[in-house]
Amino acid sequence: MFDTLYPWLKAFHLIAVIFWMAGLLYLPRLFVYHSVSKPGGELEDKMVEAEAKLLRIIMNPAMIVAFVLGLVLIAYNAIAGGVALWLWVKVALAFSLIGYHGFLAKTRKAFLDGGRPKSEKFFRSINEIPAVLTVIIVILAIVKPF
């Protein structure tokens, strides 16, 4: 039975990862606009609302679903014949993305306190982090190089 369920779990894991990645790529872009907005202005109000909704409605649930289903898939692989090194590297990179997600959530709170925690340039540059990690993770999952 689990053999028929496995592809479905894998599909929903991937769907959750896609939604999560969309948020990880988009939230720093919102921070770019937030960092240059006038404190107390209309743009800042819109950014605060957009950032909160993105985290609460899309990013947090997607990260949780991706994480839980990832654990289920790892357990299945461990039972079915072991877990290869590529998967452990993928997991380490996924935890890096979880840390990045936490950093973004903490940064949003700093904006809520009325500050400008980092520059527009900083937020433009960190926007590349999840993209690079995603490329590596996908290569590991598809090619399984080791």
For 106-140, write each residue's pLDDT tens digit. 999 999 998 899 999 999 999 999 999 999 999 99
Cα angle: 30, vertex 94, 139; to 5 degrees: 100
Buried b vs exposed e over 105-134: b needs ≥16 C-beta within 10 Å? eebbeebeeeeebbeeeebeebbebbeebb
Domain range annotation of the chain: 2-143
Q: How far apart are CA 7 and CA 28, in angstroms?
A: 32
For 22-59, write each residue's pLDDT tens digit. 999 999 999 999 999 999 999 999 999 999 999 999 99
Q: How far apart are CA 128 and CA 121, in angstroms?
A: 12
